[in-house]
């Protein structure tokens, strides 16, 4: 046992240094450091040389000392991520994109979930700053005050000094969805407005109303439901789709607030004895991973969630390192993904509904 402890101690003492890697490839420690830390200076290093350095580091089992690095440059290389949920389909894809970019840049990140508790949100924000984060990324969380560090808000819709908002072009998204339905013969369309918990609810609803008006669509009060709660499962949409069906106001298509509510709505429609899309077409929003595996597969407006996470992380890191000027807003383009949950409208709304 004593011999094993001595061996481990020797291994710690004999840790491979940056200088050892530099000597192995015959380059200066500063060049090797730039490549291993993927700093801006590494852009001038040829790819062939980079490969040599990385190969030598692996061969020597080099492990960078991030604590020493932080102390030397007086930085933490840490980012704080504030989300309403961590495991929900929307947030998890965004955080995956954030992680992918930060890992390549040798940054760490700390994630907190406030679950719509404003007091908890304020507490977590202070805690992250106390932990030394150099920047913040918020996910579907309203940032209403300037922050002490560079901040990027995904689904941020409030103009705040120093905060970059990553926002989807909701007007274009509404056009894609409603034009698809109108061109398929749908005029009696039901709508779901998002819960007040969601940062996108108001701007998306405003865009839907504007586009519907431009297309000459009548948004009947009987065919509108307002989602409530923050359930991250398809159960979110189920009872509200039941409400629509119970009103006996005929409709041939449903434009759900998001994919989660669309999936729950499809189940409610099917449980009522109707078919999707033969009786009622359903279109969602987001294009979460399970949308393609639904039965039928879900037609949806895609917002590139992982890409949005990567853009947010890239923007934040470049602002922290002084490589990019501050931008108040970055607009993301949506895309229509047509699958099996939408089809041409029947000449009459689904049977069983009373005509108005």
Kindly report, residue by residue over 28-87, the tens digit of the pLDDT: 888 888 888 776 677 888 989 989 998 988 888 887 665 566 555 567 889 999 998 888
**Closest of 270, 271, 277 to residue 252, by C-alpha:** 277
Q: What is the pLDDT of residue 85?
A: 82
Say if 106 falls within a structural domain: yes
Residue 27 forms part of a structural domain: no
**Residue 21 belongs to some domain of the structure:** no
Quote the pLDDT of residue 32. 85
Residue 139 has pLDDT above 90, yes or no: yes
pTM above 0.75, yes or no: yes
Highest mean pLDDT among 68-82, 226-240, 249-263, 338-352: 249-263
Give the tens place of pLDDT for each residue, 225-243. Answer: 999 987 888 999 999 999 9
Six token digits for residue 151: 């901040």
Comparing 146-155, 173-182, 310-319, the range with the smallest average pLDDT is 146-155
Q: Is 59 exposed, middle or buried (0-12, 13-18, 19+ CB in 10 A)?
A: exposed
Query: Which pLDDT belongs to residue 202?
Result: 95
In a domain, 341, yes or no: no
Task: Write down the pLDDT at residue 270.
Answer: 97
Same domain, 210 and 156: no
Residue 77 sits in a domain of what CATH number?
3.40.50.2300
Q: Are residues 178 and 299 in the same domain?
A: yes
Residue 89 lies in a domain: yes
Q: What DSSP character marks residue 346?
A: P
Tell me, yes or no, whether 100 and 190 share the same domain. no
**Least-confidence region, from 104-108, 116-120, 209-213:** 116-120
pLDDT at 356: 37
pLDDT band of 295, cuts 50, 70, 90: very high
Q: Given the structure tokens 């007040």, which residue do they identify?
A: 196
Strand partners, 153: 138, 165
Is 133 in the same domain as 186? no
Q: What is the predicted pLDDT for the residue at 355?
A: 39
Same domain assignment for residues 294 and 182: yes
Instruction: Tell me whether residue 15 is in a domain.
Output: no
- The pair phi, psi for residue 281, each rounded to 5°, is -85, 150
Same domain assignment for residues 266 and 279: yes
Q: With respect to residue 238, please indicate whether it lies within any of the assigned structural domains.
A: yes
What pLDDT shows up at residue 347? Answer: 56
| pLDDT score at 4 | 52
Over the stretch 152-168, which tens digit does the pLDDT of each residue have?
999 988 889 999 999 99
Q: Tokens 């852009």 — which residue?
A: 43
Domain containing 260: what range? 170-303
Which residues sit opposite 139 in a β-bridge?
83, 154
Share of the chain above pLDDT 90, in %: 59
Q: Are residues 261 and 199 both part of a single domain?
A: yes
Nearest to 308 by CA among 335, 290, 283: 335
User: 190 and 144 in one domain?
Assistant: no
Number of domains in the chain: 2
Among candidate residues 256, 284, 303, the one where a domain is terminated: 303
The last residue of one of the domains, among 303, 324, 348, is 303
Q: In this model, does residue 94 exceed pLDDT 90?
A: yes
């Amino acid at each position: 046992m004593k011999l094993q402890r001595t061996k481990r101690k020797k291994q710690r003492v004999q840790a491979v240094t940056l200088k050892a890697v530099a000597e192995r490839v015959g380059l200066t420690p500063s060049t090797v450091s730039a490549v291993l830390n993927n700093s801006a200076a590494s852009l001038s290093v040829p790819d062939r040389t980079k490969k040599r350095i990385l190969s030598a580091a692996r061969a020597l089992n080099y492990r960078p000392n991030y604590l020493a690095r932080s102390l030397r440059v007086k930085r933490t290389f840490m980012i704080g991520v504030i989300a309403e949920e961590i495991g929900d389909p929307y947030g998890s894809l965004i955080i995956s994109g954030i992680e992918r970019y930060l890992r390549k840049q040798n940054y760490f990140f700390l994630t907190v979930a406030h679950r719509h508790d404003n007091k908890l949100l304020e507490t977590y924000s202070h805690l992250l700053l106390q932990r030394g984060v150099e920047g913040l990324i918020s996910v579907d969380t309203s940032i209403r005050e300037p922050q002490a560090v560079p901040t990027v808000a995904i689904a941020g819709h409030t103009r705040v000094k120093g905060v970059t908002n990553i926002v989807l072009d909701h007007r274009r998204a509404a056009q894609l969805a409603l034009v698809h339905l109108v061109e398929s013969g749908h005029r009696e369309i039901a709508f779901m407005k998002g819960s007040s918990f969601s940062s996108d609810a108001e701007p998306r609803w405003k865009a839907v109303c504007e586009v519907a008006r431009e297309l000459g669509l009548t948004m009947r009060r009987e065919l509108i439901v307002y989602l409530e709660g923050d359930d991250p499962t398809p159960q979110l949409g189920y009872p509200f789709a039941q409400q629509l069906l119970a009103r006996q106001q005929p409709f041939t298509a449903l434009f759900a607030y998001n994919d989660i509510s669309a999936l729950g709505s499809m189940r409610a429609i099917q449980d009522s004895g109707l078919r999707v899309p033969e009786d009622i077409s359903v279109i969602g929003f987001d294009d979460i991973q399970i949308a393609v595996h639904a039965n039928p597969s879900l037609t949806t407006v895609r917002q590139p969630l992982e890409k949005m996470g990567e853009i947010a992380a890239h923007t934040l890191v470049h602002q922290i390192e002084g490589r990019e000027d501050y931008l108040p807003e970055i607009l993301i383009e949506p895309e229509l993904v047509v699958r099996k949950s939408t089809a041409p409208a029947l000449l009459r709304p689904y049977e069983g509904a009373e005509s108005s």
